[in-house]
A and B are shown apart, each in its own frame.
Chain A
């Protein structure tokens, strides 16, 4: 297994991710203080995910669209120096994400949000480090998104589906992390002192995801705990 350290640029973008998360926490706190106001920019514009379990399924559908589009591009334009083993497993991951995306599309039927436009202008698809660091961010984000959304789901069948998917995302995350630095599959940047992964709220997740999306998402009708 190869070992490669992040360059400064990726570390900077990691700091940006953390910065976004902190900013979102502050925004969420503000929103909670004035939830009758309708002047939050995201509350009245963009693609409405909907409410209740449907809203959460659309939220998952949006994230799977993002992941599937990313891995499609990764396999269409492989980074230089990609190995046969990496090609095989990144193709597997692409197919898993397409399977997830299409499952949600079909399950949601007429309630499904439209296809989203992605913005991958910040990713150098010919560069191994750029691709793998983005993949790591997406997979860890996906794990935290499903973990954080579980409590918002009311139908146990949907909760089980989310559980079936999140462990596959975690398998992906560990593999990608090990490709970047062998042994980082569950390091203390993602696992806390109790040995627990993290959950992120939809607001936190969508703020991070929005930098990869041209389409605007309106999550204002999603359930809250």
Chain B
């Protein structure tokens, strides 16, 4: 499955999908108008009930985001499943094997949670693509070389954090879905932190648990997942040395993680999809 196939899959539940992706700003404006109406209503907790009460456009938009998230979780879940299957030869220590098993179990739980949420909302979960975790040979030893495996894991986790962050605005009209997405988002960040510590501890990369500038500690091959992380200006406010506190530009960039758009993320994961 290639990028076009993912988009086609999502379009099956929403023919306006591409138009909305291309005019994300307008979509967010539409959601803004929408929340004025729904915020006055006491919303029940059940996801399905919410979607059936929402208007058509917002319902399909939210299901698009959930299917997009599901696609990324399929990718992560399958990646760790493959790694766990060869853990005894790939991963050198018991604590590291346990950490990868824990992370993998979370990604599988996210897949199941999102499928349930989509179905309960009257949507159809997209099916899982087939994956090529070597990315056409770029990471040819991904399941035999621990360094490569952790490099890909770090990239997936850091990209996942940015992907969820990029959709928060699109979910602002639906409290329960937004909260669920936020509660997945921070788990991906916890994973990223741990994987980065594992890479550091093994001497695979001079990385911290947080992202400094746009450095991956991996190389140019994953740079698209880190470009844009270097910003030090937030909502028009410069964070470096803010209010005369001694805050380096490195710390200023680390203190805020940055979003990626849906198209940026789909382009990043494209090489991993058959």
List residues of chain A with CB under 8 Å of any chain B CB: 1, 89, 92, 95-96, 98-100, 102-103, 105-107, 143, 146-148, 150-151, 153-154, 156-157, 159-161, 163-175, 178, 182-183, 185-187, 191, 193-199, 225
- Across the interface, do A159 and B169 meet the contact criterion of CB distance under 8 Å? yes
Complex CA distance for A99 and B248, rounded to whole angstroms: 10
Would A103 and B234 count as touching, CB distance under 8 A?
yes
Partner of A95, one of B43, B105, B248: B248
* Inter-chain contact A195/B190, CB cutoff 8 Å: no
What separation, in Å, do the CA atoms of A153 and B168 have in the docked complex? 11
A195 in contact with B109 (CB, 8 Å):
yes
Of B103, B190, B247, which one neighbours A170 at CB under 8 angstroms?
B190
| Neighbour of B182 across the interface among A107, A150, A173, A193, CB < 8 A | A150
Q: Which stretch of B49-57, B62-70, B94-102, B266-274 is in the interface?
A: B94-102
Q: A174–B190 contact, CB under 8 A?
A: yes
Query: CA separation between A155 and B245, bound complex, in Å?
Result: 28
Give me the 7 closest cross-chain CB pairs, A-B, nearest first. Answer: A195-B109, A174-B193, A170-B189, A156-B169, A195-B106, A167-B189, A151-B175
Docked Cα-Cα span, A159 to B35, in Å, equals 14
Q: How far is the CB of A43 from chain B (nearest CB, A)?
A: 22
Complex CA–CA separation, A89 to B206 (angstroms): 13
B179 within 8 A of A: yes
The answer to whether A106 and B255 have CB atoms under 8 Å apart is no
Complex Cα distance, B267 from A5, in Å, reads 44
The answer to whether A167 touches B113, judged by C-beta atoms less than 8 angstroms apart, is no
Q: For B258, list chain A residues within 8 Å (CB).
A: 164
Contact A147 B183 (CB under 8 A): yes
Q: Does B17 contact A (CB under 8 A)?
A: no
**Residue of B105, B186, B201 touching A167 (CB-CB under 8 A):** B186
B197–A178 touching, CB < 8 Å:
yes
Taking CB atoms and an 8 Å cut-off, the chain B residues in 124-180 that contact chain A are 161, 164-165, 168-169, 172, 175-176, 178-180
Does B186 contact A170, Cβ atoms closer than 8 Å?
Answer: yes
Contact B179 A99 (CB under 8 A): no
Interface size on B, as a range, is 35 or more
Apart from the given pairs A143-B186, A166-B185, A167-B165, 13 other A-B contacts in the complex at a CB distance below 8 Å? A95-B251, A99-B245, A105-B243, A107-B237, A156-B168, A168-B255, A171-B189, A172-B193, A194-B110, A197-B182, A198-B183, A199-B179, A199-B183
In the complex where A89-B209, A99-B247, A156-B28 touch, is A195 in contact with B234 (Cβ < 8 A)?
A: no
Expressed in whole angstroms, the Cα–Cα distance for A225 and B245 within the complex equals: 36
Neighbouring B residues of A194 by C-beta, 8 Å: 109-110, 112-113
Say whether, besides A159-B172, A197-B187, A102 and B106 are in contact (CB < 8 Å): no
Q: How far is the CA of A55 from the CA of B204 in the complex (A)?
A: 44
Given A95-B255, A171-B190, verify A195-B107 contact (CB < 8 Å): yes
Q: Does any Cβ of A come within 8 Å of B199's Cβ?
A: no
State in angstroms the CA–CA spacing of A117 and B31 once bound together: 39
Chain A at the B interface: SS class = helix
B257 and chain A: residue at smallest CB distance:
A167
Is the pair A186, B210 in contact by a Cβ cutoff of 8 Å?
no
Q: Does B193 contact A171, Cβ atoms closer than 8 Å?
A: yes
- Shortest CB–CB separation between residue B147 and chain A, in angstroms? 18
**Are B251's CB and A186's CB within 8 A?**
no
Establish whether residues A195 and B189, one from each chain, have CB atoms under 8 Å apart when the complex forms: no
Cβ 8 A contact of B242, one of A103, A195, A198: A103
A residues less than 8 Å from B105 (CB atoms): 195
Which one of B106, B179, B237, B242 lies within 8 Å of A191 (CB-CB)? B106
Contact B194 A186 (CB under 8 A): yes
Give 25 A-B contacts (CB < 8 Å), ordered by A residue: A92-B210, A99-B256, A100-B255, A102-B243, A143-B186, A148-B179, A150-B178, A150-B179, A151-B179, A154-B39, A156-B32, A161-B235, A163-B257, A165-B256, A170-B193, A171-B193, A172-B209, A174-B193, A178-B193, A185-B193, A186-B102, A194-B112, A196-B184, A197-B182, A197-B184
- The reply to whether A175 and B235 contact each other, CB–CB distance below 8 Å, is no
Bound Cα distance A43, B192 (Å): 40
* A185 to B188 alpha-carbon distance, docked (Å): 11
Bound form: Cα–Cα A194–B168 in Å? 19
Which residue of A has the minimal Cβ distance to B246?
A: A95
Closest Cβ of chain A to B50, distance in Å, is 12
Across-interface contacts of A143 in B (CB, < 8 A): 186
Q: In the bound complex, what is the Cα–Cα distance between A183 and B197 (angstroms)?
A: 11
Docked Cα-Cα span, A175 to B222, in Å, equals 23
Q: Are A147 and B179 in contact (CB under 8 A)?
A: yes
| Chain B residues whose CB sits within 8 angstroms of the CB of A98 once the complex forms | 245, 247
Closest to B73 in A: A195
